[in-house]
Amino acid sequence: MPPTEDLKNVPRHIAIIMDGNGRWAKERGLPRTEGHRQGAETVRRVSEGCNELGVEFLTLYAFSSENWKRPKREVDALMKLLELFLRQKTPEMQEQNIRLQAIGRLHDLPESCQAQLHRSIESTSQNTGLTLILALSYGGREEIVDGVKSLIESVERGHLDKGMIDIDVFGKHLYTRYYPDPDLLIRTSGEMRLSNFLLWQLSYTEFFITEKFWPDFGKDDLVEAVRAYGKRHRRFGAV
């Protein structure tokens, strides 16, 4: 970890769009899956870094609703990698006091993957360090639609009065209801778009875009992003 004593303002919640695994692999003449494998190592490194910095929540865009459209071979490889990652890294999360959580349409995942995910979530549930949230089969628009359905259900069952619906109440019907909104969004590999990630929650989030591909993103890059965040003046629409 590079020097961090000068870091003024560590974000409570960092969200990351992990992009560029495929390009990283292509540059080296390797299969795309090798890029994802290296990307999984970066997940380990960056989670550890966030934990060391005292970040409370880290949300990673690990598999989007749209990623199901990739060739079956790549989807299968990503699901296998996720399951392997969870199986191998859960003891490490325990040692580091990291709590695992997940958001998205998790029932879309292969059953063995869901089972491992729930085992890892359960076994780390008492940890009090970083909360690592994996967004899996996640889409921001899908989350809003699911939130609307859940609101309607609450109204129909008589648990909620229509007139009570406001921003806070709606937020309680999203997958992220237990977490604060992200303070900092990092996107690797230079793209300037949200790609259907946390559309509701990123309303006032500061962005940090780096040209680096995700497999090359290190703790020094994380510290650089946090340092840049510390220099921003967040006004939340006020003056």
Catalytic residues: 19, 67
Interactions with ligand FPP, residue window 79-98 (CB under 6 A) = 81-82, 85
Residues in contact with ligand FPP, shown as a per-residue x/- string from 150 to 189 under the rule CB under 6 A: ----------------------------------------
- Phi/psi for 61 (5° steps) reads -80, 90
Cα–Cα distance for residue pair 91/96, rounded to 1 Å: 9
* Eight-class DSSP state of 110: -
| Token couple for 85 | 């990652």
Cα–Cα distance for residue pair 61/222, rounded to 1 Å: 16
Please measure the distance between the N-terminal and C-terminal CA atoms of the chain and give it in whole angstroms.
36
Residues in contact with ligand FPP, shown as a per-residue x/- string from 113 to 152 under the rule CB under 6 A: ---------------------x------------------
Which of residues 23 and 119 has its CB atom nearest to ligand FPP in the complex? 23
| Smallest distance from ligand FPP to CB 73, Å | 13
Taken in order 180, 184, 186, 191, the sign of the CA dihedral is: positive
How many residues of this chain bind ligand FPP (CB under 6 A)? 18
Cα–Cα distance for residue pair 193/220, rounded to 1 Å: 23
Interactions with ligand FPP, residue window 9-68 (CB under 6 A) = 18-23, 36, 39-40, 43, 62-63, 67
Site of interaction with ligand FPP (CB under 6 A): 18-23, 36, 39-40, 43, 62-63, 67, 81-82, 85, 134, 214
